[in-house]
Amino acid sequence: MAKKTEKRTILVTSALPYANAPLHLGHILEHTQTDIWVRFQRLTGNECTYVCADDAHGTPIMLKADELGIDPEKLINQIYENHINTFSAYNIAHDNYHTTHSEENRMLSERVFEALNKKGLIEVKVIEQLFDTSKGMFLSDRYVKGRCPKCSAEDQYGDNCEICSSTYEATDLIDPISVISETPPVVKESEHLFFKLSSLKKDIDSWLKESKVQQPVQNKLSEWLKDGLKDWDISRDSPYFGFNIPGYKDKYFYVWLDAPIGYLASHLNYLSKQDSKKFEELWSPDSKQEIYHFIGKDIMYFHALFFPAMLSSADLKTPSGIFTHGFLTLDGEKMSKSRGNFISADDFVSVLDPEYLRYYLASKLGTGVDDIDLNLEDLRQKVNSDLVNKFVNIASRSAKFITKDFNNKLSAKIDNIELLNEFIETSEMIAMCYENLELNKAMKEIMALADKANRYIDRMEPWTLIKDDKNKDLVHQICSTSINLFRILTIMLQPVTPNLAEKSFDYLNDRPTWKDIHKPLLNHNVYNFDPLLTRVEDSHITQLLELKNV
């Protein structure tokens, strides 16, 4: 890893889960990828703050609350508690998890709007919009479906196509249908407020050149820029659950304005518990704070074009980079509750240790934006092969000798210094893999080292050597070397499997950081070794498959 002259100050976010349903495994994919990167940054000594929030506004929440006969506030509070508990179960280490339905977000949304308005970037236009006559309401994009006007893909929502990634107006859909009433909507005029995104192409181009964005994403964004940017509709008509736009009766901020501002609001809420004055410093355009957003490929447009332009125009710091991932499929097919191919995040954790999923996802996640498949049988084999048979096996094979024959004390000398140094040297390459989000490569390299440690134990055969007292010191050094190799691997895996690392460090009587990889434990007392992991059995997979079809 490149030497750093000073500690970095980093703010990291994941996309905001929508506050109308429990979390699914796609949410866990994104938050796990983010959390691993955050934990690595902290482990290497950087100041890394991780904030997120529930996306708590919009028509779907209003309609869901109406269906349940409760206020929208009660619904989003219930969902908030569920989300907090689920993320906790998966060891997602948010520094602050907030909600977009907050005073911080109201204040910041109004601040950004006023800044844009003062710069002449807000324009009022009369537009044609789809209206559901049976429900008496204008339809938001997500409540209209039809065929994509660009590629003719069926069953696409009214804002963007999941097949070709095109963005368009809901009125452009072919054969639109209201999702609420399942009737064809009519076109009706309404006065709306627009953010003049089309005038900011040069600013967005400049941001793209300076920020960290994966090449496939860069290509897609450049394509959108080349095609031309449309002004952005940032208002919605009553009835709507959200923030009123100051100075406009019965007009509300569109959720895609106040949702990304929710990142700033969550950060302000976090800082208000310490020093809220730091907010202005950290979000000023010349701040040294790095800001990274982890998102799915379906919301690239909003985060990489609309949001940076909005921040820049409001004289706020723009993101340093955006990390985009693909969708999570299940056994080779798109996750769908209606089609019986769906496992909720809560259901998975009721059957298996969530760290098994964290490791599996890490072994699949790279820098690309291709979809990632969760194959349950593959998960079983990978966890048992890598974590149980390779990683934990190093400690379990050696710890019994340290306890029984050497009173739980490691030797003063390493037996194979060349092998130890190889682990230390490889840690620099693995650190770069973490930094660059090549998690799959990092896991592959870590397990290759685990194989070498196990081959070392096989070759030295401490179980045979211990039979002769004259070999006692050698066995002590062999097993102590193995425990030190296990310790290095534990440090390397800590961002991915924090609970497993915690239990391993309890045994080692040690709380190392990344820099401690270079410092072996010598003449060091450890505790009795307890089993760290259980195998994933066929019965676990059967249980998950049963839940998948519920």
* 197-231 per-position pLDDT tens digit: 999 999 999 999 999 999 999 998 988 888 888 89
- Band of the pLDDT at 166, cuts 50, 70, 90? confident
Q: Are residues 181 and 265 in the same domain?
A: no
pLDDT (tens digit, 9 = 90+) per residue, 473-486? 999 999 999 999 99
Q: Which residues of 102-118 are buried (b: 16+ CB within 10 A; e: fewer)?
A: bebbbebbbebbebbbe
Instruction: Kindly report the CATH number assigned to the domain that includes residue 127.
Output: 2.170.220.10
Where among 325, 341, 365 does a domain terminate? 325
Q: What is the per-residue pLDDT for 1?
A: 36
Q: Three-class SS of residue 533?
A: coil
pLDDT (tens digit, 9 = 90+) per residue, 329-352? 999 999 888 788 899 999 999 999
CA gap 488, 457 in Å, rounded: 16
Query: 499 near 467, Cβ under 8 Å?
Result: no
Where among 307, 325, 343 does a domain terminate? 325
Q: Are residues 305 and 427 in the same domain?
A: no
| Residue 212 zone, left/alpha/beta (φ > 0; ψ -120 to 50; rest) | beta
- Scan for tokens 């609970």, then name that residue: 499
**Stretch 442-451: mean pLDDT:** 98
Tell me which of 251-265, 328-342, 357-371, 402-416 is least confident. 328-342
Sign of CA dihedral 515, 520, 526, 530: positive
CA gap 547, 543 in Å, rounded: 6
Instruction: Kindly report the CATH number assigned to the domain that includes residue 53.
Output: 3.40.50.620
Answer yes or no: is 21 within a domain. yes
Where among 195, 216, 240 does a domain terminate? 195
CA gap 244, 236 in Å, rounded: 9
Q: Describe the crossing of helices 103-118 and 255-272 by its angle, rounded to 10 degrees.
A: 120
Q: How far apart are the first and last CA of the chain?
A: 47
**Stretch 272-286: mean pLDDT:** 90
Structural domain including 410 reads: 389-518
Task: Name the E strands within 133-289.
Answer: 137-138, 144-147, 156-157, 174-178, 186-195, 212-213, 232-233, 235-237, 251-253
Q: Are residues 33 and 3 in the same domain?
A: yes
Q: What is the per-residue pLDDT for 550?
A: 64
Q: What is the per-residue pLDDT for 153?
A: 94
Q: Are residues 50 and 63 in the same domain?
A: yes
The token duo for 17 is 């889960």
Q: What is the per-residue pLDDT for 142?
A: 78
pLDDT(162) > 90: no
Does 141 or 412 have the greater pLDDT score?
A: 412
Instruction: Kindly report the CATH number assigned to the domain that includes residue 421.
Output: 1.10.730.10
pLDDT(3) > 70: no
Q: What is the per-residue pLDDT for 37?
A: 98
Query: 523 near 412, Cβ under 8 Å?
Result: yes
Q: What is the per-residue pLDDT for 275?
A: 78
Q: Are residues 270 and 213 in the same domain?
A: yes
Question: Phi and psi (nearest 5°) for 7?
Answer: -65, 135
Answer yes or no: is 104 within a domain. yes
Compute the mean pLDDT over every residue in the chain, rounded to the nearest whole number.
94
Answer yes or no: is 185 within a domain. yes
> What does pTM read for this prediction?
0.92
- Band of the pLDDT at 5, cuts 50, 70, 90? low
**Stretch 146-160: mean pLDDT:** 93
CB neighbours of 81 closer than 8 A, spacing ≥ 6?
none
Q: Give which of 66, 60, 33 is closest to 358, Cα–Cα.
A: 33
Q: Are residues 224 and 156 in the same domain?
A: no
**What's the domain count of the chain?**
3
Answer yes or no: is 259 within a domain. yes
CB neighbours of 189 closer than 8 A, spacing ≥ 6?
126, 127, 128, 129
Answer yes or no: is 369 within a domain. no
Q: What is the per-residue pLDDT for 2?
A: 41
Query: Quick one: what percent of the chain has pLDDT higher than 70?
Result: 99
Q: Are residues 224 and 85 in the same domain?
A: yes
Q: Are residues 209 and 294 in the same domain?
A: yes
Q: Are residues 404 and 484 in the same domain?
A: yes
Q: Give which of 134, 232, 132 is closest to 176, Cα–Cα.
A: 132
Q: Are residues 51 and 136 in the same domain?
A: no
DSSP string, 253-268: E-HHHHHHHHHHHHHH
Answer yes or no: is 475 within a domain. yes
Answer yes or no: is 151 within a domain. yes
Q: Are residues 176 and 319 in the same domain?
A: no
Answer yes or no: is 538 within a domain. no
pLDDT(391) > 50: yes
pLDDT (tens digit, 9 = 90+) per residue, 48-92? 999 999 999 998 899 999 999 999 999 999 999 999 999 999 999
Q: Are residues 32 and 3 in the same domain?
A: yes
